Structure 1
């Protein structure tokens, strides 16, 4: 008896996806996660983190309900023990007999980077991208999330790359409807993603005064994978903020967003206050994104009305279609 990987989206299958924060998987712990509609188990034997299909080949029980013993993961149903290669090495009911050769687990690629655990269910086609200024000691790093959305992961990414909603959904926090216009610059599509640059009018989040004068800021975006990317906001005096966003596709209409903020000029805002501000921004996005219908992103450009200011989301949808992305789309 076996479980068959049901992921049909070959492009996302061979991408890296964040599944947990590194601190969540301490040595000796077992976690249950879901990625691309597949149940997976994460466990740490003290030397390494491992990611497997959450399925015992004996009677189909969840291995994530089990425990770690002598560097093996033990199934909670009949005590079968599996080594780090995913092979059964012990059947307690018949300890003197070798386990069946078929008693093995589907294993997945796993890496730890940027304080996160990344899993690829297929064969990795690309490296996990670097975060700009990550190694610069003058930059502060703040991890925000996880934020859970009952919506397509593609809808969440499209919301992140849409600057025209800032002045309305996030009015008074970092943008305002007094100056909703967006100045568009470059837009380029590449085989491995899209990049673009725009300018918007902003409030100073450190001032706490939504009626204060606004100033113009430019943003450079780069989508490295369908569910992974970053933006850089550069200002005067070498001030810079990078926001590296990672959307985990749990199911076609469920996902989790986390992001790193790497910046060098907002030290007036303590880490806790910064996270609280981002939590407020994400709660505003969550209400809107979860209200969208259909929940899955339409890749047919005739399915929704498009405006001239939608140039980045249109480019994103075209690129997804070119790459054959189907998970979370219609």
Structure 2
């Protein structure tokens, strides 16, 4: 079988912001609480450290003899190389060479530093800021009053970020991978829904059948699913719960570690005013999500190649992933043309003016259809 990646050149991803670790993970990387911590983004080895009041990201390589700076330590708001003690500031410039402290520091004594910000309890990095038209993806409920927000530990899958995104937004797999957890296996025929591009987001929604509640556990967050997906790898899923009143949001994003590996981040937010023990409920919600991920992971990691290819056979119910892949290809092509073209491709709205989504209740397979 011929294998043609949906985007042959992934360098366009360098123009986007990607999370590389959580603040909690950075603090745990060293007893100082400041790092350093080794991370990897788009095949590049980076080091993240808190230098003073600022978290910085730079290439994980000393300019002197290429030792990994992530093996060093933070001292006096500088990152010190473990090999010869060269120390670097947040801009990546070497500020001290112990072997020759009285001589001028060579101008080439620096390591590349990258844009780095902390948001939603995560450290975000943008490798290429030259286009300047991308923003850190939105999370709808970070500061919403009355919401309890949990930033989960990150986890690594041996697959591409594109595959992980498609897994999370794939309606057709619910009945087969998550029967009795997220879905009822009797509802195996998903609806075909409108898919819009709006200000850098892919937007769509689905209304599962309420009848499925009878076969699902009490903590299964079944409801109307409203997806707002910031390109390229972030999903903000707002759920209007059927079982009880209240708001529930599941937010996830994938960091493209390399072509075949992704580090995934998750936030769970819920209204918890009526909960007697919110901390205990935190554990319940995280355990449920871990169970769902455990059902998905072996299937997704079995996909070969690790990234989606053009030769895969798609059908009409794959509309979300079809539109997603189309936009990725367009972004990759536009990035080769320049900033204006890339910006226009990312932010030009494309509205799918089809009728409203069909409820799953109207699409349930009858016993005869299931037997065929």
Which residue matches 1:111? 117
Is it true that 1:86 corresponds to 2:96 in the alignment? no
Counterpart of 1:261 in structure 2 is 268
Counterpart Cα distance in 2 of 1:216 and 1:101 = 59
Task: Please list every run of 5 or more consecutive structure 2 residues that lacks an aligned counterpart in the other structure.
Answer: 1-8, 28-32, 335-372
What are the Cα deviations for residues 7-30 of structure 1, in whole angstroms up to 9, with x where unaligned?
x63421011111111122234321
Aligned residues: 311
Length-normalised TM-score, structure 1: 0.87
Q: Does 1:283 align with 2:284?
A: no
Deviation for aligned residue 1:190 = 4.5
Aligned-pair distance for 1:78?
Answer: 1.1
Cα 1:130–1:267, aligned 2, differ >3 Å: closer, same or farther?
farther
The structure carrying a bigger helix percent of its residues is 2
Q: Does the Cα contact within 8 Å between 2:192 and 2:316 map onto a contact in 1?
A: no
1:251-330 aligned at under 5 Å gives the runs: 251-264=258-271, 267=275, 270-298=281-309, 300=310, 303-324=311-332
Gaps of 5+ in 1: 1-7
Deviation at 1:325, TM superposition (A): 7.4
Taking a change above 3 Å as real, the CA distance of residues 238 and 130 of structure 1, as seen in their structure-2 partners, is farther
Q: Paired residue for 1:63?
A: 69
CA–CA distance in structure 2, aligned partners of residues 161 and 325 of structure 1:
24
Distance 1:320 1:232, change over 3 A: same
CA contact (8 A) 1:189 1:315 kept: no
Equivalent pair of 2:47/2:57 in contact (CA under 8 Å): yes
Residue 41 of structure 2: which of 24, 31, 35 is its match?
35
Q: What CA distance in whole angstroms lies between the structure 1 residues aligned with 2:222 and 2:47? A: 46
Distance 1:290 1:112, change over 3 A: same
Q: Deviations over 1:189-246 (max 9, x none)?
A: 34723211122234376537x9xxxx97321112211111211111467532221111
1:24 aligns with 2:35: no
Name which of structure 1's ranges 126-135 and 150-159 shifts more when overlaid on structure 2.
126-135
TM-score by length of 2: 0.77
Deviations along 1:107-158, one digit per CA (max 9) or x if unpaired, are: 0111111111111111042222332132223222122342211011100101
Structure with more relative contact order (C-alpha pairs < 8 Å, separation 6 or more)? 2
Measure, in 2, the Cα distance between the counterparts of 1:191 and 1:234: 23
User: Given that residues 182 and 222 in structure 2 are in contact (C-alpha distance below 8 angstroms), is that contact kept between their aligned partners in structure 1?
Assistant: no
Contact 1:90 1:98 in 2 (8 A): no
SS in 2 for 1:186: coil
TM superposition shift of 1:262: 1.4
Contact 2:60 2:69 in 1 (8 A): yes
- Matched residue, 1:5: none
In the TM superposition, residue 314 of structure 1 has moved relative to its aligned partner by 0.7
**Per the alignment, do residues 132 and 292 of structure 1 end up closer, same or farther by CA in structure 2, a change over 3 Å counting?**
same
The CA RMSD measured in Å over matched residues stands at: 2.4
Contact persistence 2:96–2:105 (CA under 8 A): yes
Deviation at 1:54, TM superposition (A): 0.5
**Corresponding residue for 1:249?**
256
Mapped to 2, the partners of 1:155 and 1:226 lie a distance apart of 12
Q: Within 5 A, what are the aligned runs for 1:150-169? A: 150-169=158-177
Q: 1:203 aligns with which of 209, 213, 221?
A: 213
Q: Is the 8 A contact 1:186 1:198 kept in 2?
A: no
